[in-house]
């Protein structure tokens, strides 16, 4: 074997990879691939959440906002907040003098969220920022509350996003992360797998004309760490008093943590 060929193989092996659903892809490509999925589904994203959760995602989000306890005058960051669901629910609780930043890496998702909130008359005190959660453009200790619903499993380095969340939280500030997780009830995993792998991509094909994006979303849920592992990841990022709330038998988990330093 030539030295040139060996070097080529070595440099290939050194390219860091990550998972995109069940595929291994170069880390540098994941962000673009995820962006593509959400550009494809932006206009039908809420419909997609309804299908993936049988409509229950609205209740999960309501529980998240109730547990977050946003208060008047607070500054809130809604990460991966594309369609503005959480921001719309939090808005009346922080007004008149509080503010919300809705941040997403995907401009199409942000555009959907911005027009949706404007339709509801939610304009003053809301800012839309296109940003990568792993490298946020905000000062240290800027926010009282950070929320993140169904976004962290799509990030290339979730641990970096958690460190950034810790950095931008004020002392005593809290983060609530809602994400699909690992079912805890006996027998639920089997039923859920059948629904996810057999039915969902088919529904995606019929309703959104996009089987591949739905297939990725199902696979990305399976690749995401379980409740305890993710709790430890939050603690490793410096967050304290981390609690886990299993919803719908653990199909979804809500993790809450605080910055205490």
- Per residue of the chain (261 residues), what is the pLDDT tens digit? 545 544 444 444 567 878 766 778 787 777 787 777 777 666 777 777 787 787 899 999 999 999 999 999 999 999 999 889 999 999 999 999 999 999 999 998 899 999 999 999 999 999 999 999 999 999 999 999 999 999 999 899 999 999 999 999 999 999 999 999 999 988 988 988 888 888 888 887 887 777 887 788 788 888 899 999 999 999 999 999 999 999 999 999 999 999 999
Reported in sequence order, the residue ranges of the chain that DSSP labels E, i.e. its strands, are 17-20, 23-26, 75-79, 99-104, 126-130, 143-149, 169-180, 240-247, 252-258
- The rounded Cα 41 to chain-centroid distance in angstroms is 15
- Report the pLDDT value the prediction gives residue 158, as an integer from 0 to 100: 96
Would you say how long the chain is, in residues? 261
- Report the pLDDT value the prediction gives residue 20, as an integer from 0 to 100: 67
- Report the pLDDT value the prediction gives residue 40, as an integer from 0 to 100: 67
For 232, how many CA atoms within 13 A lie in the half-sphere containing its CB?
A: 5
User: CB atoms < 10 A from the CB of 221, how many?
Assistant: 21
- Report the pLDDT value the prediction gives residue 13, as an integer from 0 to 100: 52
Give the Å distances, CA to CA, from 36 to 45, 104, 109, 120: 13, 14, 11, 28
Tokens 């998972």 belong to 19
Tokens 């593509």 belong to 36
- Nearest one of 81, 82, 50 to 204, comparing CA atoms: 50
pLDDT digits (tens, 9 = 90+) for 6-43: 444 444 456 787 876 677 878 777 778 777 777 766 67
Instruction: Fill in the DSSP letter of residue 65.
Output: H
- Report the pLDDT value the prediction gives residue 176, as an integer from 0 to 100: 98
pLDDT digits (tens, 9 = 90+) for 117-156: 999 999 999 999 999 999 999 999 999 999 999 999 989 9
Tokens 């946020």 belong to 136
């Amino acid at each position: 074997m030539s030295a040139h060929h060996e070097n080529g193989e070595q440099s290939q092996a050194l390219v860091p990879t990550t998972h995109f659903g069940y595929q291994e892809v170069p880390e540098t490509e994941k962000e673009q691939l995820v962006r593509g999925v959400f550009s494809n589904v932006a206009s039908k994203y809420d419909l997609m959440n309804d299908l993936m959760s049988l409509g229950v995602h609205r209740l999960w989000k309501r529980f998240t906002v109730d547990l977050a306890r946003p208060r008047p005058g607070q500054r809130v960051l809604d990460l991966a907040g594309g369609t503005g669901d959480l921001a719309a629910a939090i808005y009346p609780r922080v007004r008149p003098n509080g503010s919300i930043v809705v941040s997403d890496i995907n401009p199409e998702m942000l555009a959907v969220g911005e027009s949706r909130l404007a339709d509801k008359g939610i304009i003053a005190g809301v800012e839309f920022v296109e940003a990568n959660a792993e490298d946020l453009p905000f000062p240290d200790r800027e926010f009282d509350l950070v929320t993140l619903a169904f976004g962290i499993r799509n990030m290339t380095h979730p641990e970096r996003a958690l460190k950034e969340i810790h950095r931008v939280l004020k002392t005593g500030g809290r983060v609530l992360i809602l994400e699909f997780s690992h079912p805890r009830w006996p027998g639920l995993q089997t039923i859920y797998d059948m629904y996810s792998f057999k039915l969902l991509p088919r529904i995606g094909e019929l309703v959104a004309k996009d089987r591949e994006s739905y297939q990725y979303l199902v696979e990305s849920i399976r690749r995401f760490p379980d409740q305890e592992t993710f709790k430890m990841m939050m603690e490793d990022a410096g967050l304290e008093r981390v609690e886990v709330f299993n919803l719908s038998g653990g199909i979804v988990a809500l993790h809450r943590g605080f910055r205490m330093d």
